[in-house]
Amino acid sequence: MTFQILFTLGGGLGLFLYGMKMMGDGLEKAAGNKMKRLLEVLTTNRFMGVIVGTVVTAIIQSSSAATVMVIGFVNAGLMNLAQATGVIMGANIGTTITGQLVALRVTDYAPIAVFLGVGILLFARKRYVKHIGEILAGFGILFMGMNLMSTAMEPLHGNEVFQNVMTRISNPFLGVLVGAGITMILQSSSASIGILQALAMQGLIELDAAIFILFGQNIGTCITAILASIGANITAKRAAAIHLLFNIMGTALFMILILLFKVPYVGWIQGLTQGDVVRQIANSHTGFNIINTVIMFPVAGYLVFLARKLVPGEEPRQKEMHLQFLDKRILETPPIAVAQILKEVDRMGSMAGTNSFCIGLIFHWDKNPTPFLANQSRKSLKFNGMMLY
């Protein structure tokens, strides 16, 4: 019985993750050009960074992918830590959209969505229509996975071992640790929130216990950014540290307010949607990240300061000849990667033009160039040659 529950739960989780990825890929392709334009907004101010982070993460359905992309931009020198902080805050808000979708409870219509989506994918000719089919199919598969996870948990009603585990997890600090641990393993806060919501569908968990697991899940999701920063420069490592600090400080603040000052956050959330624990979990996740962003946004400079203290060292100097607009981590988001490739090709074309001008000057001076001119020409030729081959 236990193995059957685990296998069914694992299968449901697999469908949930695949559906989420498929829907995210479809949304990403459909919004490709708009995502490219969003990049131009990043350089304006931190507030626009929050907006962009929220929108991009809602589209690609993964805060992990969004933060990895941010680390790639920081590593390439295209984004400073202040801008990265805003995008990271927005990514935390954007990732809550999956939980809100799950709370819609449209499981009965999931097979219809899959049928329509696959039909569109097979028979549609226009690329944009195919993207819509991919979104629909992913949406349906996500809910079928959610339904399978919920069904797998039905036998847990009245199970003494499970009840004992849930009693222990109701301890706030243990709940945070469990939430962080599960999310570190899955590397997806949306998936771990989905498991919580599946438990709630079967009446196996209430918001009082789920809230602290949820806080831990926000910390656990930082593992992806930390892993992505391995091998990156110090500034990129600091961006990963900002993500971790933001979620740890937010969790600590909420736990102090709820446990010490008895702020009725759980009561407020329950009052919004009485009796619907699945929706309450989604709302508490969204509320946590929005409130955390509102509180932390004015003191974002201190997050950058703490990150510099946590990851000491000198800022990296940009190499004279390097790929200015590209980093391998940016390739995780193809529409944005394409925009960056075009910028890099344009820059290389400009370098080739400068090199041609230098060669003309060399011939004009009877093949006796100044050392500086010859050196610049040699470097430019070598760089473009390396990038082409």
Answer whether 142's CB lies under 8 Å from 20's CB.
yes
**Residue 14 CA, distance from chain mean position:** 19
What digits encode the pLDDT tens for the residues 131-145? 999 999 999 999 999
- pLDDT (0 to 100) of residue 99: 94
Rounded CA-CA distance 105/86 in Å is 32
- pLDDT (0 to 100) of residue 375: 60
Task: Give the domain ranges of the chain.
Answer: 2-310, 333-388
Rounded CA-CA distance 279/287 in Å is 12
- pLDDT (0 to 100) of residue 317: 62
**Residue 360 CA, distance from chain mean position:** 49
Structure tokens at 61: 């359905």
Structure tokens at 210: 């789920």
- pLDDT (0 to 100) of residue 388: 44
Rounded CA-CA distance 359/202 in Å is 74
Positions of the chain with pLDDT under 70: 1, 32-44, 316-333, 335-336, 339, 355, 357-389
- pLDDT (0 to 100) of residue 389: 44
State the Rg of the chain over Cα: 24
Q: Is the dihedral of CA 287, 289, 290, 295 positive or negative?
A: positive
Structure tokens at 222: 């930082």
Sequence-ordered list of residues with C-beta below 8 angstroms from that of 225, at least 6 positions apart, any chain: 64, 67, 68, 70, 71, 239, 240, 243, 244
Answer whether 23's CB lies under 8 Å from 135's CB.
yes
Residue carrying the six token digits 């702020």:
263
